[in-house]
Amino acid sequence: MSEMFKLPEPTGTEKELVDEVTKFWSDPEFILGVRLHLKTDDERQMVIDAIKSGDLKDSDDIILFTLDIHNDRQEHSPKEDVA
């Protein structure tokens, strides 16, 4: 999957996030999933802070936390009317 879909090289907060999650698992599809779940630097920083505080202890914790952030954003975003 990751060979077919590539994101640009991360910079700034996203680069710091990639560096942090790679310490847990360097699998390209895992890293891609984390990056796709998070839309803003604030969301990325939340994950970085949770990793550094020890709240996220493994790759499962990380992917579930990023998915929760993604789902929360989706639930609170304005819905388009479908005619």
C-alpha span between 75 and 12 (Å, rounded)? 27
pTM score, two decimals? 0.86
CB atoms within 10 A of CB 77: 9
Q: Which two tokens stand for residue 21?
A: 């999650």
**Burial, 56: exposed, middle or buried (Cβ in 10 Å; 0-12, 13-18, 19+)?**
buried
**Burial, 17: exposed, middle or buried (Cβ in 10 Å; 0-12, 13-18, 19+)?**
buried
Domain chopping of the chain, boundaries:
13-75
Q: What is the pLDDT along the chain (83 residues), one digit of tens a residue?
A: 445 678 899 999 999 999 999 999 999 999 999 999 999 999 999 999 999 999 999 999 999 999 999 999 989 887 665 55
